[in-house]
Structures are given as structure tokens and as C-alpha cells.
Amino acid sequence: HATPSEEKLTSFRAFLSECGLSLEGGMKPTTKDYAKLLERVKDRPDHELIQTMLLRSLSQAVYHADNIGHFGLALEEYAHFTSPIRRYPDLTLHRGIKYLLAKEKGAKRKTTDTGGYHYSFDEMDLLGDHCSMTERRADDATREVADWLKCEYMQDHVGAEFSGVISSVTGFGLFVRLDDLFIDGLVHISTLDNDYY
């Protein structure tokens, strides 16, 4: 997770300003600056919205051969591996660690016994790009299925009234997150009465 981009940081600061808040740290806020902000807003009624906007301001994770650390954890160097039977990047990292440990011990076994780690830096770069793309594709598919299921659920509730919170404003309307259901929906500007928008 790289540091937030200048564009996202500027946008987030503008949002915070509208809420009467600010983020310390100038153009290079630290993880502690974000933590202080979260502590300040934890009892506000709009804390969920602020937290969501904060998360959106952070950089998305990508797999890369260069170790860029982890901004959220305030680590200059970072590696994660949780499920090598489910995630190929985790398996690759396990192989690399196994290889390095065996090499450190001076193992004279076959390379397959050391994890069979045969990747060049350029190959790791390509593998990182590919794994990042496939992870985004899986996330998109998961989101599409969740959206479909939410729509199917809401079909039985057309015309019902729900309480919710405005989660986003665009030129064509408002996005509202329904309380208790965590379902977002668009209120198109053409459906708003009694005024010109």
C-alpha cells in the first residue's frame, strides 16, 4: 500500500473541510495523522461516512517486485502471506522465503527442495501486475454478485420507506446508504421535487 496520491489527498482534505475537520501532516501525512483524525471523529454521527472517505483516499494495494512498504501499517518494508493454497502471490512469497532460508543454511539440495524459486525481477514485476489484475477482477465479480443480490432483495420492497445517510453527491443525484441494510442506491436528481437542482 503506497502513500496516498496528491490528487486523492487534496480531494479528501476538501471533504474534511466541508465537515469542519482537517488532517494534519501537510502534503505528507503519516499513519498517525490518520489515526488522530479517526479518534477525533469516532463519536460523531457522520463517523462512518468520514471513515469511508478516508479509506477511499488511500492507495489501492498492488503486487509489485519492489518493496514499497505499507502506509497503513507505517512499515517501510512489508510482505503478507495468509493463504498460499488460495492466493498465488502468497504461494510465491512462501517459495521465496523457503528458498532464502535454505540458501542461508547452505543447502545443497535440489532447487525443488528449496521451493523452486526461479523468478527474475522482471518476471516478478509481470507476475505482480497479473495478480493485481486478477484480484481486481475477482473483487469486481464479487461486487457484481452482491449488487445483484441486493437488487433482488429490494424488489420486494419497492415503494417502502427507509432511513438512510447520503454517502455521495454527484451532478446527477445522491447516493444513499440505507441504515441497517448497508445497501446503497441512487436518488436521481429528476426524482427530487419542490426545487430546482
Q: Where are the domains of the chain?
A: 1-60, 161-197
Amino acid identity, residue 93?
L
> What are the pLDDT digits (tens) for 37-94?
999 999 999 898 899 999 999 988 777 778 888 888 787 888 777 766 678 888 888 8
* Residue 114 pLDDT class (50, 70, 90 cuts): very low
CB atoms under 10 Å from CB of 123, counted, come to 11
Burial label, 154 (beta-carbon count in 10 A; 0-12, 13-18, 19+): middle
Q: What is the pTM of this model?
A: 0.61
Contact between 69 and 75 (Cβ < 8 Å):
yes
> What are the pLDDT digits (tens) for 164-197?
988 888 889 999 999 888 899 999 998 888 766 5
Tell me the C-alpha distance between 154 and 81, whole Å: 38
